[in-house]
Amino acid sequence: MVVQSVVLKRTFELYKEEYEEAALRVLNSGWYILGREMAEFEEKFAAYMGVKHCVALNSGTDALILALRALEIQPGDEVIVPAGTYIASVIGVTENGGIPVFVDMDAYMEINVDAIEAKITEKTKAILPVHLFGQCSQMDRIKEVAKKYNLWLVEDCAQCHGSEFDGQLAGTFGDIGCFSFYPTKPLGAMGDAGAIITNDDALAGRVRLLRNYGSKIKYHNEIRGVNSRMDEIQAAMLKVGLKHIEEGIESRRRQAQMYMEGIKNPKIMIPPVHQNVYHVYHLFPILAKNREKFQEYLSQNGIVTQVHYPIPPYVADCYKDWGYAWSDFPNAQRYAKQELSLPIYAGLPDEEVKYVIEVINRY
């Protein structure tokens, strides 16, 4: 048996007729940018999240960049970020001239809330928690710290559509929530797409200006903006996906439960889930001390896996002038060296999950 890490065509085929109808509807409309589909998606996603505003953008990375730009993060301003994350989280800071201040990870593979306060200085302007793998960070305590020091709170929700902490949706705790709709996400487009959500009228209006060349009226450029507009095709695809997001989350959660109950090999560690979190399992990470050997074993048995993320941003080549060593953040280093993501996605057959479990338990 061959088990791929993800097969997007299977997810598409779950709702094939709806996706095809939506695509043809857009093509036949003759209107492809800043149209009704995008406006309707913004309205529907805002309603799903229970917020006043959704601003649809070109990507999740743009969402981070424009969110911090809307908050007027300036060169030299410090933004607290987790040490173990995808580099896009850090790009959101550096593209605005900001300085990322790294905090190590906790046992849940999230930012260590106990270590945040010690990193705050007079230059700190924002905290940027990243809800990794589908699990919301401990937002109650992070929000307390942000309020105590009068800091902006920006949530990177690229992997956690529908995740909750204490019954509240990830992305709704802070000033702005930033989402990616990359095709593999719990709510995925058929290409690049992203959005921000907020309850702040002024911030929403500023991001709308920023995404469209700083303009409300063509050729009237009020501020220095960029081109970061979600196209009508992606908006239409996301409207279909949003209708079925809970079905997809339940599918991922069922597969995750099968992994957690079935994997019995003591050489493999499954990171814990915080008791107050509703996990949506964008990914299913495990830890293996000799990852390369274990991954090769899985590959030999037809199981394709991925690593998230083998090079933390604090030691990325593009940021080597910062001078960090791998060992500066021990937990982030450990996860980068040991993490392996098992197959999990809407449309993954149960028999393939069972096969993965069987192979792991033989290792």
pLDDT tens digits along 162-198: 999 999 999 999 999 999 999 999 999 999 999 999 9
- DSSP assigned state of 122: T
> Strands, DSSP E only, in 251-301?
268-269, 277-278, 284-288
Q: Which amino acid is at 184?
A: T
293-314 b/e with 16+ CB inside 10 Å = b? ebbebbeebebebbbbbeebbb
Task: Determine the pLDDT at residue 337.
Answer: 98
Which residues, 6 or more positions from 325, have their beta carbon under 8 angstroms from its beta carbon?
Answer: 315
User: Which residues contact residue 72 at a Cβ distance below 8 angstroms, ignoring those fewer than 6 apart?
Assistant: none
Q: For residue 348, which of 2, 1, 10 has the smallest C-alpha distance?
A: 10
Cα–Cα distance between 276 and 138 in angstroms, integer?
Answer: 8
Reported confidence tier of residue 301, pLDDT bands at 50, 70, 90: very high
- C-alpha dist (Å) from residue 96 to 70, 135, 209: 10, 27, 17
Q: How much helix, strand and coil, in percent to the nearest 5, is found in the chain?
A: 45, 20, 40
Q: What is the CA 29 to chain-centroid distance, rounded?
A: 32
pLDDT recorded at residue 217 = 92
* C-alpha–C-alpha distance, residues 35 and 105, integer Å: 41
Instruction: Give pTM, 2 decimals.
Output: 0.97
Across the range 193-218, mean pLDDT stands at: 97
Residue 255 pairs with which residues in a beta bridge?
none
3-state class (DSSP) for residue 29: helix
The whole-angstrom separation of Cα 232 and Cα 234 is 6
- Lookup: tokens for 300: 């030999």
Give the tens place of pLDDT for each residue, 56-88: 999 999 999 999 999 999 999 999 999 999 999
State how far the alpha carbon of 74 is from the alpha carbons of 78, 96, 179, 215, 220, in Å: 9, 6, 22, 21, 25
- Residue 321's identity, in one-letter code, is D
Report the pLDDT value the prediction gives residue 141, as an integer from 0 to 100.
97
Average pLDDT over residues 90-103: 98
Residues 136-151 have pLDDT tens digits of 999 999 999 999 999 9
With a pLDDT cut of 70, the percent of the chain lying above it is 100
Give the confidence band of 294 by pLDDT, cuts at 50, 70, 90: very high
* Band (200; pLDDT cuts 50, 70, 90): very high
Token pair, residue 33, equals 């940018």
Quote the pLDDT of residue 23.
Answer: 98
What is the pLDDT at residue 53?
A: 98
Write down the pLDDT at residue 333: 98
114-128 burial: b if 16+ Cβ within 10 Å, else e? ebbeeebeeebbbbb
The per-residue pLDDT for 349 is: 98
Residues sharing a CB contact under 8 Å with residue 71, sequence separation 6 or more, in sequence order: 125, 126, 152, 154, 175, 176, 203
Q: pLDDT class for 253, splitting at 50, 70, 90?
A: very high
pLDDT category, 131, cuts 50, 70, 90?
Answer: very high
Q: What is the DSSP letter of 343?
A: P
> Are 359 and 303 a contacting pair, CB within 8 Å?
yes
For the chain, the average pLDDT equals 98
d(CA 196, CA 8): 24
Predicted confidence at residue 22, as pLDDT, reads 98
Three-state SS at 217 = strand
Q: Provide the residue type at 196 as one letter.
A: I
